[in-house]
Amino acid sequence: MSFDFDLYVIGGGSGGVRAARWSALAGAKVGLCEEYRYGGTSEIRGCVPKKLMVFASSFSEIAEDAEGFGWSSSTRTFDWPAFIAKKDTEIDRLEEIYASNLQKAGVEIERARGTLKDPHTVALSNGRTITARHILIATGVRPFCPDLPGIEHAITSNEVFHLADMPKRTLIVGGGYIACEFAGIMNGLGSAVTQFYRGAQILRGFDDEVRGHIAEEMRKKSIDLHVGRDVVSIEKTETGLTVTCTDGSMREVDCVLYATGRQPNAAGLGLAELGVGLAQNGAVKVDAYSQTAVPSIYAVGDVTDRVNLTPVAIREGMAFAETVFKSNPTPVDHALIPTAVFTQPEIGTVGLTQEEARETHEIEVYRATFRPMFHAFAGRDQRMLMKLIVDKPSQRVLGVHIVGPAAGEMIQMVGIAVKMGATKADFDRTVAVHPTAAEELVTMRDPVPG
């Protein structure tokens, strides 16, 4: 049977774009459709604009710290519209690069929504129908909001990047990394921030000590963090939004930002009708090679709900191209993935948490908490936390957790060592770089008692 394409990709985010480019460079005829913007959540309304906002929000604290180093401060104001305009220009530039790189690789791109008619046919919202030997689903995830009275007055992390003005009072609902990151961002930009999380502690799934440390540091920065609390209803008034809480209290804010998780964006694509397996949350079920139950249909990235990180989606896209178009079956290695959370202070983590490790290993824990030189001199009460989780019999480092300035940069390098199977002795043999915060990683000598 003759097909229009060897591969057709539905979704122009990080995973879909990488799979399309690598497949085209391997000699395949490739097409791709994207209904929103090329680059996906990460580049357009996720990692990149968020990190720009983290940078912007950090200057208020830097300006305060400068006084501790002898600088005289002047009146400080933040121009939200000017920042948003410049951010939009940067995102436009990045999207153009994504589209250009696809076209340079020979990928035919369409600004349209794609749905499946059969295992080899895609119907586009612009009326075009195409056929392909292989179809790749890379449609990512979308924010989830609960169904409660007044939820239409709330926004998500999609809309926060496009607010015309910065809210003076912000309520953030959620306790995951997106909620905690935006709590720091809005607080740093000058908004009075309240955060509700219905669970017992924020950042579920992270090391318990890291969770507690971050919560304490957030409160030090005047973020009004409440755990065990949720929203019952939201009412719009002449002066803002009145929020009724589960404890019966009420408060007025200007903006309610929901960051209560994301759901795989697979509904309405026609997958279930063709026999593609879907998980209870809508995620596309795939094997180790990203293939679904329908042999011609594959899926990569967050829509599969494996490890929802941009670099992982990119790796999955590359592995798909190697497997399908380079005759090199390549499963994706999802073990020991380093990651960063851009809270303030930020988190860098790789490997097992202390709680996970002690379930299956006899462990030693090495810990250091201290005020970094920069903050100590500036007079700021912000403490850094570093932890090594070590398998006692083999001395292999099972996990590393860092909270503090440049934690994300540090964990990228530490991740290499952990992935290679480094032991505590390997860390000890490494000469420290002085004076740095990172030197604590190689100078912790005694495990925590008990």
Same domain, 240 and 160: yes
Q: Are 267 and 137 in contact (CB under 8 A)?
A: no
**Predicted local distance difference test score (pLDDT) of residue 43:** 86
Statement to judge: residues 139 and 196 lie in one domain: no
So what's the pLDDT on residue 341? 97
Residue 449 included in any domain? no
Q: In the annotation, is 213 catalytic? A: no
Say yes or no: 20 and 112 in one domain.
Answer: yes
pLDDT score at 322 = 98
Are 205 and 212 spatial neighbours (Cβ–Cβ below 8 Å)? no
Considering the domain boundaries, does residue 333 fall inside one? Answer: no
CATH number, residue 132 = 3.50.50.60
Which pLDDT tens digit goes with each residue over 19-51?
A: 999 999 999 999 999 999 999 888 888 999 999
Average pLDDT on 302-311 reads 96
Is residue 367 located within the same domain as residue 435?
A: yes
- pLDDT, position 1: 76
Question: Does residue 273 form part of some domain?
Answer: yes
For residue 334, give every residue at least 6 positions away whose Cβ sits within 8 Å of its Cβ, in sequence order, or none: 306, 307, 312
pLDDT over 90 (residue 234):
yes
Band (pLDDT 50/70/90 cuts) for residue 351 is: very high
Are 289 and 435 in the same domain?
A: no
Residue 73 pLDDT level (bands cut at 50, 70, 90): confident
The answer on pLDDT for 103 being more than 90 is yes
Q: Assess whether 121 and 215 both reside in one domain.
A: no
On whether both 215 and 79 belong to a single domain, the answer is no
pLDDT at 170: 98
Q: Say whether both 267 and 256 belong to one domain.
A: no
Residue in the block written with tokens 């309304």 = 45
330 within domain boundaries: no
User: How many angstroms separate the CA atoms of 408 and 342, rounded?
Assistant: 8
In this structure, the answer to whether residues 271 and 237 fall within a common structural domain is no
Q: Which residues contact 290 (CB under 8 A, 6 or more apart)?
A: 298, 299, 300, 304, 316, 319, 320, 323, 332
- Whether the predicted pLDDT of 117 surpasses 80: yes
Encoded tokens for 18: 């990488």
**Residue 60 falls within a domain, yes or no?**
yes
Tens of pLDDT, residues 400-447: 999 999 999 999 999 999 999 999 999 999 999 999 999 999 999 999
Residue 65 belongs to some domain of the structure: yes
CATH number, domain of 396, equals 3.30.390.30
210 and 292 in one domain? no
| pLDDT, averaged across the chain | 96
Q: Is residue 396 part of a domain?
A: yes
pLDDT of residue 232: 98
Please answer whether residues 382 and 217 qualify as being in contact, where contact means their C-beta atoms are separated by less than 8 angstroms: yes
pLDDT at 225 over 90: yes
Is pLDDT at 75 greater than 90 in this prediction? no
CB 172 within 8 Å of CB 317: no
Quote the percentage of the chain above a pLDDT of 90: 95
**One of 134, 162, 213, 434 is an active-site residue; which one?**
434
Q: Which of 302, 325, 348 is the last residue of a domain?
A: 325
Cα three-residue angle 200-206-208, rounded to 5 degrees:
55
Tell me, rounded to whole angstroms, the distance of Cα 22 from its chain centroid. 24
Q: Is 114 inside any structural domain? A: yes
Confidence at residue 72, expressed as pLDDT on a 0 to 100 scale: 84
Write b or e for each residue in 100-129: b if 16 or more Cβ atoms lie within 10 A of its Cβ, otherwise e: eebeebebbbbebbbbbeebbbbbbeeeee
Residue 406 region, left (φ>0) first, then alpha (ψ -120 to 50), else beta? left
pLDDT greater than 80 at residue 74? no
Strands of the 240-245 sheet, one edge to the other: 231-237, 240-245, 250-253
Is 256 found in the same domain as 280?
no
User: Are 166 and 256 within one domain?
Assistant: yes
Question: Does residue 152 register a pLDDT over 80?
Answer: yes
Q: What is the pLDDT of residue 47?
A: 92
Query: What pLDDT, on a 0 to 100 scale, did the predictor assign at position 392?
Result: 98
Show the domain range for 218. Answer: 151-260
Q: Give the count of domains, the chain.
A: 3
Last residue of a domain, one of 239, 260, 281: 260
